[in-house]
Structure 1
């Protein structure tokens, strides 16, 4: 009963509502993250920052975001996604608006750290929502859908924000996106609810429990959370996602600046060129989710199927980053970068769906958040290391460094994530 055609109508409506809300919140989430990258040149000129300092500022978000992943996953499993994501929306939206008031480097760093804290619940909460409303072998498609919000938000940023900046100032880009998040917080808390099995029909319960019959997932505990670190799958997912997110964040944080500085594109052309790869990433997340469901249904196990999808996507990222760095043609470079970001978002969607089948039922958000912690250590390092390498040499060795780190991450997934983590271990 896990196939789409057999979804009970009331479950289908709840699934659709949940995914629409997650995508809207995710788009705003990434619009907020990308605002600094889009306004990079204006902020550097206004505050008098070097490329290295801008790299530090771009990474400030990722450090707090990564560290908060450790507690927030357990909190999502314990409290539930409705209220934790709602509170996160409020915190990150206020922090985003506060960024628009920045007049010094240190103040801006504090605002970005607060943004990372507020945004931390978004993806662990989304993983829990999907595990609540979809059976295990059908989670790839919805995971791809909510992950598609990431590249969509980044693609919209260089299209929507430059006209706003040109008409007013870079400050207003932060104020407007912050206000959008506060509206989204109200809508999310008002409309989203977790499934209540006692109020469901037999068909509805049978659908949700198709791959894991029994009662609803129990609440997690601190001891159960700590026990995850005894398994090599947990470490493989942390190290693997480090490589994936590192390379993705090289592009996410530096692509507009790279196209302007290294490729000498004018502002309007660079804005369009920076959007194209992330629109490809939007397609990548959607296609990967759908594809990983098909692969998993024919694989020896859900873990094997979803792991293969992650590794294949990451190896493709490595392969196309090399010509992206070395090509003289801007068209060839942007085309290769588009393929890389298509695969990066495919990899991310598959990695999050992998967490839902590796983790025991009570620790899905916990494991997903631990994986995301490892990823955003890479995301925090990427803009800093890229900025300093570009400042000392050029962007070419910076991109090749990212490719090497992504390859190591793919090998971590391949050889360490081989079996699921039992519920009582």
Structure 2
């Protein structure tokens, strides 16, 4: 079938949406890194112990993980425009408040609010791709917005270090929070949901090609619960657990690994640690392009996401094992860089699965459920790695555990993820027949 044409108005909405999603995603990842960058100064000024700092670091991840479940349903009910503007405003206010805290309890609460506020970011992005992009372009669009996570990680250290050294850690929090509020206002002012635009019939056909439910429909509680009755949902949860587990092994421990196991100086670590995450930017964009290229070559949209994701995770297991076992620093850094490249191929493919696996009005809900599974892995990874490091004095075993998680996740993803989830009207919700678990 020939590709449906895009109008000039659709292109403008698409480019504006992607620019806003990348900007807000970068702010999202920089904001969550503020505590890690300012860790030594905050510990000194407020008298926090290492154990208390560990609790503060984990507070965000647990709140973020469990907030995914309601966040996706709220995005599908309230619409991306309002929901992302509100969430940006909430987490930005939490950042501003982070510069005012005086004790551990206040800081713990602020980090929890930050996690709650940031939770809708990626489910919203998945829904916007479903709303405004034809099925043949959804992989590329997903790769572009998803690169904001690794780009934000790469930019966080230099930007936050500059702000902290110039203005102090309290003003670092406040400045980032105020900037986030500006981005929230810009998103609400510039973005529109499809039902807020007088679309022509040709534009509507372009946007809804292949959708299994009316684009303007709101998800119900029954439809949200129903997602858990399908094996595809559980396969996405299981697979993304592995992706985010390994990603957060590197996110949370890479600088310490380079300093402790590879004996780099702090200055050298700041430069070397950025290289793998920049490779992740490339992997995210190319992963999305690969998804769309496979569709144009005749592969089913589900398989065009499923097999690149699983293949990238198998290769990640291999290169993470190489990084763990090689005695050579250069080989280790190259292996980690390739691992991050592959992890973001896998991450983009997983997020690109949500717009093709779910009914249109459940896209953010399914993406958020998947992200919940991922960030259970993300919350466990720093803890498991820390316990292994404390017990062995080396990162070797921790990296090998990460490689094993990646391999098991890949195999599970291939076996469990099968068909798209049909719209509610297409099957018996009470009986949940063949397509269900």
Same fold by TM-score, threshold 0.5 exceeded?
A: yes
| Whole-angstrom distance in 2 between the partners of 1:197 and 1:175 | 34
Partner Cα separation in structure 2 for residue 260 and residue 165 of structure 1: 22
Map of 1:79 onto structure 2: 78
Task: Tell whether 2:24 aligns with 1:25.
Answer: yes
Structure 2 partner of 1:404: 404
TM alignment of 1:214-363, pairs within 5 A: 215-363=214-362
Aligned to 1:116: 115
Give the alignment of 1:117-136 within 5 angstroms: 117-136=116-135
CA contact (8 A) 2:279 2:340 kept: yes
Q: 1:46, CA displacement in angstroms? A: 4.9
Which deviates the most, 361-370 or 167-176? 167-176
Relative to structure 1, is the Cα distance of residues 97 and 317 closer, same or farther in structure 2, using a 3 angstrom cutoff? Answer: farther
- After superposing the two structures, state which structure 1 stretch, 217-226 or 146-155, moved more: 217-226
Corresponding residue of 1:196: 195
Q: Tell me the SS of whatever aligns to 1:137.
A: coil
Moved more, 375-384 or 291-300: 291-300
- Number of residue pairs the alignment of both structures matches: 424
Decide whether the 8 Å contact of 1:2 with 1:207 is kept in 2.
Answer: no
CA distance in 2, matches of 1:26, 1:389: 31
Stretch moving more, 143-152 or 333-342 = 333-342
Q: Provide closer, same or farther for how the CA distance between residues 44 and 321 of structure 1 changes in structure 2, counting only shifts above 3 A.
A: farther
Contact 2:212 2:360 in 1 (8 A): no
Please give the alpha-carbon distance, in whole angstroms, between the structure 2 residues aligned to 1:267 and 1:423: 53
Stretch deviating more after TM superposition (243-252 or 108-117): 108-117
CA distance in 2, matches of 1:104, 1:159: 27
Distance change >3 Å, CA 263–CA 49, structure 1 → 2: farther
Whole-angstrom CA distance in 1 between matches of 2:158 and 2:294 = 35
Distance between the aligned counterparts of 1:388 and 1:57, measured in 2? 17
C-alpha change, 1:262 and 1:82, in structure 2 (3 Å) is: same
In 2, Cα distance between the equivalents of 1:315 and 1:168?
44
Q: Distance in 2 between matches of 1:214 and 1:164?
A: 47
Displacement of 1:317: 1.5
Query: Partner residue of 1:62?
Result: 61
Distance in 1 (alpha carbons) for counterparts of 2:19 and 2:111? 27
Q: Could you say if the C-alpha distance between residues 28 and 214 of structure 1 is closer, same or farther in structure 2, counting changes exceeding 3 Å?
A: closer
Task: Return the alpha-carbon distance in structure 2 between the equivalents of residues 40 and 322 of structure 1.
Answer: 30
Distance 1:197 1:212, change over 3 A: farther
Counterparts of 2:214 and 2:383 in 1: how far apart (Å)?
46
Report what 1:415 is aligned to. 415
Residue pair 1:390, 1:398 contacting (<8 A) in 2 also: yes
SS at match of 2:421: coil
Q: Distance in 2 between matches of 1:96 and 1:406?
A: 33
CA distance in 1, matches of 2:348, 2:308: 10
* Deviation per residue, 1:264-315 (Å, 9 max, x gap): 3222211111211111111111111111111133354211111011111111
The separation in 2 between residues aligned to 1:2 and 1:119, in whole angstroms, is 39
Contact 2:195 2:216 in 1 (8 A): no
| 1:3–1:138 Cα contact (<8 Å) kept | no
2:136 aligns to what SS in structure 1? helix
Distance 2:211 2:352 in 1: 16
Alpha-carbon separation, structure 1, partners of 2:313 and 2:58: 22
TM-score, with normalisation over the residues of structure 1? 0.94
- Confirm or deny: 8 A CA contact 1:159 1:275 kept in the other structure: no
State the secondary structure of the residue aligned to 2:33.
helix
Q: Deviations over 1:221-250 (max 9, x none)?
A: 000100111111111111110111011011
Q: What SS does the aligned partner of 1:379 have?
A: helix
Whole-angstrom distance in 1 between the partners of 2:127 and 2:212:
17
Alpha-carbon distance in structure 1 between the residues aligned to 2:166 and 2:266:
14
Structure 2 CA distance, aligned partners of 1:409 and 1:105? 36
Structure 2 unaligned spans of 5+: 428-437
Preserved contact between residue 278 and residue 338 of structure 1 (Cα < 8 Å): yes
- State the Cα distance separating 1:213 from its structure 2 match: 8.1
Q: Which residue of 2 aligns with 1:11?
A: 10
Q: Unpaired segments of 5 or more residues in structure 1?
A: none
- Secondary structure class of the residue paired with 1:111: helix
Distance 1:282 1:83, change over 3 A: same
